[in-house]
Structure 1
Amino acid sequence: MGKSQKKRQMRRHNPMRVPDSHLPKGLASASASSSKTEAILPIIQKMESVDPLERKWACVAVSNLIQNDPSTRRLLQGKNIVGHLITRLSDSEEEVVVEAAGSLRNLCIDGGFDICAEMFNKNILAPLKTFIPKISTTLSQFIASPKDSPENAQKLVYEFADNVITILWCLSETSNKALNAINQISLVPFLMSFLASRDKLPLSTVTSAAQCLYVLTDENQPIVEEVRSNAEYTACLLGIVRPDGAAPKPNGKEKDTSDAKATAFRVLTCDLDRDVVLPTLEPVLSSTDLQEIAQAAQQAIDQQESIPQLESLSLKHTPKSDHKTPSELELERLETRLRTVQLALEILTGMCATLPDPEVFSGAPGGEDDNEDEDDEGMEDAEDIDMTIEAESSAAQGEAPNSPAFFTTLVAPLLKFVQPTALSFPPLGAPSPHPPTTSALSAIHISALECLNNIFLSMTTSARGRSSSLGLDSTSGRTVFEAVWGALRLVGTEVGVAGQERRREMWDIAVGVLWGVGNLFKGALIPTEEQIQVLTQFCNATSDVQVKVKTIGTLECLAQHPDSVEANRMISSYLLSLLPPNANPPTPTEPLLQAVSALIDIYSDENMPYDVNFRQGRYLEQLVQSVEGVRKAVRGIDRKKERELRVRGEEVRDNLVAFIQYRRGLRL
Structure 2
Amino acid sequence: MGKAQKKKEMRRHNPVRVPDSHLPKGLDAASKTSSKKDAVLPIIQKLEGGEAQDRTWACSAVSNLIQNDPSTRRLLQGKNIVGILISKLSDSVDEVVVEAAGALRNLCIDAGYDVCAEMFNKNIISPLKDLIPKISSALDKLVTSPTSAPENTTELVFNLAENVITILWCLSETSNKALNAINELHLAPFLMAFLENRAKLSSRTTAAAAQCLYVLTDDNFPVIADVRSNSSFTSCLVSIATTSEAISGDDVAKLKEGKEMAEARGISLRILCAGILRNISPIPAPSAASSVDIDRSVVLPLLLPVLSSVSLVDASARVSHLVSTQSEDIGTEKLSIKNAPKSDHRTPAEIELDFIETKLRNIQLSLEILTGVCATLPDPDFAKDASDDTNDDEEEDDDAMDADEGDDGDETLDAPIDAETDTTPAVPDSNTALLPSILPPLLTLIQPTPLSFPPLPSTSAAPLEEQPKTHAPTTSALASVHISALECLNNIFLSLGVAGRAGKGGGTNANLEVAKDVDAGKRVWDGVWAALALVGLEGVGVAGQERRKEMWEIAVGVLWGVGGIWKGSIVPNEEQVKVLIQLCDSTSEGQLRVKAIGALECLAQHQPSIEANKVISTYFLSIISTPLASSSTSPEPIIQAASALIDIYSDENSPYDVNFRQGGFFQALSTALPNVKKAVKSIDRKKEGGRLLRGHGEEVLDNLRGFIKYRSNLKF
- Per the normalisation by structure 2, the TM-score is 0.85
Partner of 1:655: 703
| In structure 1, C-alpha distance between the alignment counterparts of 2:596 and 2:553, rounded to whole Å | 9
Partner of 1:61: 61
Alpha carbons of structure 1 residues 657 and 28: separation in structure 2 relative to 1, 3 Å = same
Partner of 2:639: 593
Q: Within the alignment, does 1:230 sit opposite 2:278 as a pair?
A: no
Alpha carbons of structure 1 residues 443 and 8: separation in structure 2 relative to 1, 3 Å = farther
Partner of 2:327: 305
Q: Deviations over 1:440-464 (max 9, x none)?
A: 1001111111111001011112222
Alpha carbons of structure 1 residues 144 and 640: separation in structure 2 relative to 1, 3 Å = closer
Q: Within the alignment, does 1:537 sit opposite 2:582 as a pair?
A: yes
Alpha carbons of structure 1 residues 581 and 201: separation in structure 2 relative to 1, 3 Å = closer
| Aligned partners of 1:453 and 1:516 also within 8 Å | yes
| In structure 2, C-alpha distance between the alignment counterparts of 1:342 and 1:334, rounded to whole Å | 12
Q: Which amino acid aligns with 1:61?
A: A
Q: Within the alignment, does 1:405 sit opposite 2:433 as a pair?
A: yes
| In structure 1, C-alpha distance between the alignment counterparts of 2:517 and 2:553, rounded to whole Å | 27
Which is further off, 110-119 or 466-475?
466-475
| In structure 1, C-alpha distance between the alignment counterparts of 2:359 and 2:685, rounded to whole Å | 49
Q: Within the alignment, does 1:435 sit opposite 2:472 as a pair?
A: yes
Q: Within the alignment, does 1:2 sit opposite 2:2 as a pair?
A: yes
| Aligned partners of 1:13 and 1:339 also within 8 Å | no
| In structure 1, C-alpha distance between the alignment counterparts of 2:498 and 2:683, rounded to whole Å | 28
Partner of 1:110: 110
Residue 588 of structure 1 and its aligned partner are, at CA, apart by 2.1
| In structure 1, C-alpha distance between the alignment counterparts of 2:704 and 2:553, rounded to whole Å | 28
| Aligned partners of 1:578 and 1:587 also within 8 Å | no
SS of the residue 1:666 aligns to: coil
Partner of 1:497: 542
2:305 corresponds to which of 279, 283, 290: 283
Which is further off, 655-664 or 640-649?
640-649
Alpha carbons of structure 1 residues 581 and 535: separation in structure 2 relative to 1, 3 Å = closer
Q: Within the alignment, does 1:334 sit opposite 2:359 as a pair?
A: no
Q: Deviations over 1:207-247 (max 9, x none)?
A: 11111111111111121121122111011111111235563
Task: List runs of 5+ in structure 2 lacking aligned partners.
Answer: 278-293, 380-427, 461-467, 505-510
1:483 corresponds to which of 524, 527, 547: 527
Q: Which amino acid aligns with 1:248?
A: S
Q: Deviations over 1:331-356 (max 9, x none)?
A: 00011111111111111112223437
Alpha carbons of structure 1 residues 13 and 281: separation in structure 2 relative to 1, 3 Å = farther
Question: Higher relative contact order by CA 8 Å / sep ≥ 6: 1 or 2?
Answer: 2
Residue 639 of structure 1 and its aligned partner are, at CA, apart by 3.8
SS of the residue 2:713 aligns to: helix
Partner of 1:576: 621
Alpha carbons of structure 1 residues 239 and 153: separation in structure 2 relative to 1, 3 Å = same
| In structure 2, C-alpha distance between the alignment counterparts of 1:157 and 1:401, rounded to whole Å | 47
SS of the residue 1:579 aligns to: helix
| In structure 1, C-alpha distance between the alignment counterparts of 2:107 and 2:71, rounded to whole Å | 13
Which is further off, 57-66 or 471-480?
471-480
Q: Deviations over 1:249-299 (max 9, x none)?
A: 342324351121111011000121333111111121132221121122122
| Aligned partners of 1:11 and 1:346 also within 8 Å | no
| Aligned partners of 1:403 and 1:470 also within 8 Å | no
| In structure 2, C-alpha distance between the alignment counterparts of 1:199 and 1:153, rounded to whole Å | 18
| In structure 1, C-alpha distance between the alignment counterparts of 2:198 and 2:633, rounded to whole Å | 57
Q: Within the alignment, does 1:268 sit opposite 2:272 as a pair?
A: yes
Residue 537 of structure 1 and its aligned partner are, at CA, apart by 1.0
| In structure 1, C-alpha distance between the alignment counterparts of 2:17 and 2:223, rounded to whole Å | 27
Aligned pairs for 1:540-579 within 5 A = 540-579=585-624
Partner of 1:135: 135
Residue 543 of structure 1 and its aligned partner are, at CA, apart by 2.4
1:518 corresponds to which of 553, 563, 584: 563
| In structure 2, C-alpha distance between the alignment counterparts of 1:24 and 1:595, rounded to whole Å | 39
Residue 573 of structure 1 and its aligned partner are, at CA, apart by 1.4
Alpha carbons of structure 1 residues 612 and 529: separation in structure 2 relative to 1, 3 Å = same
Partner of 1:26: 26
| Aligned partners of 1:452 and 1:513 also within 8 Å | yes
Q: Deviations over 1:118-138 (max 9, x none)?
A: 111111110001111111111
| Aligned partners of 1:294 and 1:423 also within 8 Å | yes
Q: Which amino acid aligns with 1:602?
A: I
Q: Deviations over 1:99-129 (max 9, x none)?
A: 0000011111111111111111111110001
| In structure 2, C-alpha distance between the alignment counterparts of 1:132 and 1:114, rounded to whole Å | 24
Aligned pairs for 1:124-523 within 5 A = 124-245=124-245, 247-250=247-250, 251=253, 252-255=255-258, 257-271=261-275, 272=277, 273-274=294-295, 275-355=297-377, 402-429=430-457, 430=460, 433-464=470-501, 468-470=512-514, 472-494=516-538, 495-523=540-568
Which is further off, 222-231 or 475-484?
222-231
| Aligned partners of 2:16 and 2:109 also within 8 Å | yes
Alpha carbons of structure 1 residues 406 and 356: separation in structure 2 relative to 1, 3 Å = farther
SS of the residue 2:570 aligns to: coil
| In structure 2, C-alpha distance between the alignment counterparts of 1:191 and 1:81, rounded to whole Å | 28
Q: Percent identity?
A: 59
SS of the residue 1:83 aligns to: helix
SS of the residue 2:624 aligns to: coil
| Aligned partners of 2:584 and 2:593 also within 8 Å | yes
Q: Deviations over 1:398-437 (max 9, x none)?
A: xx96554113321111111100011100111249711000
Q: Which amino acid aligns with 1:626?
A: A
| In structure 2, C-alpha distance between the alignment counterparts of 1:412 and 1:9, rounded to whole Å | 33
Alpha carbons of structure 1 residues 10 and 582: separation in structure 2 relative to 1, 3 Å = closer
SS of the residue 1:464 aligns to: helix
Partner of 2:422: none
| In structure 1, C-alpha distance between the alignment counterparts of 2:18 and 2:698, rounded to whole Å | 47
| In structure 2, C-alpha distance between the alignment counterparts of 1:98 and 1:515, rounded to whole Å | 51
Q: Deviations over 1:629-668 (max 9, x none)?
A: 1122222223444211111111111111111111111134
| In structure 2, C-alpha distance between the alignment counterparts of 1:587 and 1:173, rounded to whole Å | 32
SS of the residue 2:608 aligns to: coil
Residue 587 of structure 1 and its aligned partner are, at CA, apart by 4.2
Q: Deviations over 1:519-549 (max 9, x none)?
A: 1110011111111111111111122211111
Matched residues, number: 626
Alpha carbons of structure 1 residues 244 and 202: separation in structure 2 relative to 1, 3 Å = same
Q: Deviations over 1:549-603 (max 9, x none)?
A: 1111111111111111111111111111112257752642111000111111111
Residue 17 of structure 1 and its aligned partner are, at CA, apart by 2.6
| Aligned partners of 1:456 and 1:516 also within 8 Å | yes
CA RMSD of aligned residues (A): 1.9
Q: Which amino acid aligns with 1:204?
A: R
Aligned pairs for 1:605-624 within 5 A = 605-624=651-670
Q: Deviations over 1:25-82 (max 9, x none)?
A: 1111111111111111111121111122211111111111111212212222222211
| Aligned partners of 1:107 and 1:115 also within 8 Å | yes
Alpha carbons of structure 1 residues 402 and 339: separation in structure 2 relative to 1, 3 Å = closer
| In structure 2, C-alpha distance between the alignment counterparts of 1:20 and 1:497, rounded to whole Å | 13
| In structure 1, C-alpha distance between the alignment counterparts of 2:144 and 2:627, rounded to whole Å | 78
| In structure 2, C-alpha distance between the alignment counterparts of 1:124 and 1:666, rounded to whole Å | 72
Q: Which amino acid aligns with 2:179?
A: L
Partner of 2:78: 78
Residue 471 of structure 1 and its aligned partner are, at CA, apart by 6.2
